[in-house]
Amino acid sequence: MFACNQATFQVKFLINITENSFSKIAEVTKKALSKIKNGNSDRITTASGFLSTVKKGSKKFRKVLENDFSKTNVLNLRQVKTLYKNIDVDPPYGEKNLKTILALWNLSYLPSDIRTFVFKSTSNTLGLGARVQHINPDIDPSCSFCKKCNRLPAPLESYLHFFFYCPTTFNIISKYAQKYIQPELTVEHFFLGTEDDSLFDNRMLILVNFILRYHLWAAKLKNSLPNINTIESDMAYTLGILCKTKKNFEEMLTSCRIFRQQGRG
């Protein structure tokens, strides 16, 4: 019916659409194709043609239906350009992993709060100080963790600072990586995966790193200061739940060559 699924629709064309909305569009397309099949092709010959009769915002959907997805360069997506800017990395590093990163929020077996975090993270809509200040200039944009540790003046709470360079964060992710993850801890590896490992191994690395960042974010929302013990406990709980609810997830974790042997299980 469609030339793409919901994840491809979202990732390639930056149209924020819920599963319910996508289902409605798919249903409209089904009706259009049914009309064509039943002999109404003299008036409507394509699904996008049917949608063109709708006058309430169907233009962006028609563009998607008429587009050749295979010709889309993911590096040209505004979402991707913003991602590279936020982590201060030059493309095309990590290009092979970008589709994994952008579609991760749509994994049905992830808890909804983690999926929401991943979506907001990749669409640059997290309520970090630097971003919120653009909306409300009266907001203090400095790092929440640095203020709690009395590291004053606290640096700007940018995406890169909060999730990597903040001393509180860096101490946690450094210790976590030393225990569980093979690659040297760099900005590139932490956010975009590695260049040399397989797509499967990178998919697992990127997923685990997103879950780690989610728990850092959850600590901020709770107005608490995380440490390696609390984050490690939170990670163990979340990964344990996924192992119970997602078939073969534990096997996927243990077969990932990027994770250290002593950190498995």
Q: What number is the average pLDDT over the span 174-180?
A: 94
- Measure the CA–CA gap between 174 and 202, rounded to whole angstroms: 18
Kindly report which listed range (5-14, 195-204, 232-241, 252-261) carries the lowest average pLDDT score.
Answer: 5-14
Question: According to the model, what pLDDT value does residue 101 have?
Answer: 95
Burial (CB count within 10 angstroms: exposed 0-12, middle 13-18, buried 19+), residue 17? middle
Check whether 50 has a pLDDT greater than 70: no
Question: According to the model, what pLDDT value does residue 92 have?
Answer: 94
Specify the DSSP element, H or E, that contains 122: helix 112-122
Question: According to the model, what pLDDT value does residue 177 have?
Answer: 93
Check whether 6 has a pLDDT greater than 70: no
Question: According to the model, what pLDDT value does residue 183 have?
Answer: 66
Question: According to the model, what pLDDT value does residue 260 have?
Answer: 79
Question: According to the model, what pLDDT value does residue 264 have?
Answer: 42
Q: Catalogue the E-assigned strands of the chain.
A: none
Comparison of pLDDT for 196 and 38, the residue scoring more: 196
Sorted by sequence, the CB contacts under 8 Å of residue 168 that are 6+ apart come out as 145, 146, 148, 149, 225, 226, 227
Confidence class of residue 36 from pLDDT cuts 50, 70 and 90?
low
Check whether 145 has a pLDDT greater than 90: yes
Q: DSSP label at 105? A: G
Question: According to the model, what pLDDT value does residue 245 have?
Answer: 93
Question: According to the model, what pLDDT value does residue 1 have?
Answer: 46
Burial (CB count within 10 angstroms: exposed 0-12, middle 13-18, buried 19+), residue 2? middle
pTM above 0.85, yes or no: no
Comparison of pLDDT for 34 and 247, the residue scoring more: 247
Kindly report which listed range (28-37, 105-114, 203-212) carries the lowest average pLDDT score.
Answer: 28-37
Question: According to the model, what pLDDT value does residue 27 have?
Answer: 77
Q: What number is the average pLDDT over the span 155-168?
A: 98
Tokens of 248: 């073969």
Check whether 130 has a pLDDT greater than 80: yes
Tokens of 260: 């250290």
Averaged confidence pLDDT in the chain: 85
Comparison of pLDDT for 146 and 69, the residue scoring more: 146
3-state secondary structure of 178: helix
Per the CB < 8 A criterion, the answer to whether 89 and 96 are in contact is: no
Question: According to the model, what pLDDT value does residue 166 have?
Answer: 98
